[in-house]
Amino acid sequence: MKLADVESHMQKAVEATQRSFNTIRTGRANASLLDRVTVEYYGAETPLKSMATISTPDATTLLIQPFDRKSLNLIEKAISISDVGLTPNNDGSVIRLNIPPLTSERRKEFVKMAHKYAEEGKVAIRNVRRDAVDSVRKQEKSGELAEDEARDTQDKIQKLTDKYIAKLEKLLADKEKDITTV
């Protein structure tokens, strides 16, 4: 396994964690809150963002305007059963989601959720490290790499791991600040 591949896999783990962070509410309206919502549309699970325009007219409202008006009720139902925790208001042409201010308890729950996502990202990075180190050890045993080269490569892999875990820590700190800021 090449170092560039290892770095690419670790970067993807960080990006996946960032996408997970984006789905956590911070008290302000953000279209990425609905990224995980899928709608049962003509027998297939379809992402909401490919069925409607999602906009934020103000800091506390999300406006969902479906491309096909007939899908309005389906979208409303999908949002209701999703884990977003918001109640959709359907006025016949658009759906409005009012985002209530977060209570301190809810903020604590979201911080815990952010920590969970960060830990999942760290585990993914560590798994990439483990696979890479195993690959290097196999190459060393088979004689493809000298002992010194193998140790150097393992050190480089560890440095990459530390770098990407630090990135995750920074993302977590930023998200925590967003959540706790009133």
Q: What confidence tens digit (pLDDT) does each residue in 85-123 have?
A: 788 898 888 999 888 887 888 889 889 999 999 999 999
Low-confidence ranges of the chain (pLDDT < 70): 1, 182
pLDDT tens profile 149-163: 999 999 999 999 999
| Beta carbons within 8 Å of 86's beta carbon, 6+ residues apart | 33, 62, 79, 97, 98, 99
CATH number of domain containing 137:
1.10.132.20
- Same domain? For 77 and 128 the reply is no
One domain, residues 57 and 35: yes
Both 160 and 114 in one domain: the answer is yes
Give the pLDDT confidence score for residue 24 in this predicted structure: 82
Q: Are residues 171 and 157 in the same domain?
A: yes
Task: Say yes or no: 79 and 92 in one domain.
Answer: yes
DSSP SS3 for 63: strand
Compute the CA torsion angle 162, 165, 171, 176 (nearest 10 deg): -120
Instruction: Calculate the alpha carbon distances from 29 to 69, 77, 182 in Å.
Output: 23, 20, 14
Residues 32 and 17 grouped into a single domain: no
Terminal CA-to-CA distance of the chain, rounded, Å? Answer: 46
Q: Are residues 37 and 54 in the same domain?
A: yes
Are 127 and 84 within one domain?
no
51: domain CATH number is 3.30.1360.40
Residues 175 and 155 in one domain: yes
Q: Which of 98, 130, 145 is the last residue of a domain?
A: 98
Domain count, the chain: 2
The answer to pTM > 0.85 is no
What is the pLDDT, as a whole number, of residue 28?
75
Same domain for 40 and 15, yes or no, is no
The residue range of the domain holding 109 is 3-21+103-180
